[in-house]
Amino acid sequence: MPDTDVPSPSAAHRTWWRAPLVASAPGLPLILLNHLWFTSHGGPGPFGGVLHWATGLLALAWVLPHRRSLRGLRIAAAGAGLACALFPPSFALLLGLAWSVST
């Protein structure tokens, strides 16, 4: 009688870790720097939710089951987490650019 708890080799995704690693390598330092910067300026304010979403989505990309069928969801979660981590610094850069152009 075959054991149904063991995934078949065809269902296992051997390179499941690539998308979370590629997104976490720049994403986690950005989240940490954003958190430290916001903490030094009185708290995260409106960007606090974005930092929580970024952390949660990157964690989700790592803990999803290692099946090939979830590869798209893992890539989407990792990409969205990285985008959320990039949002506060890119917003600050665009705001600084707008201020420098207007004066």
Q: Higher pLDDT residue, 88 or 77? A: 77
Give the pair of three-digit tokens for residue 76.
Answer: 């989407």
Residues 6+ apart with CB under 8 A from 84: 50, 51, 53, 54, 57
Instruction: State the pTM of this model.
Output: 0.82
Tens of pLDDT, residues 14-68: 899 999 999 999 999 999 998 898 888 888 777 788 999 999 999 999 999 999 9
- What are the backbone dihedrals phi and psi of residue 87, each rounded to the nearest 5 degrees, phi first? -60, -50
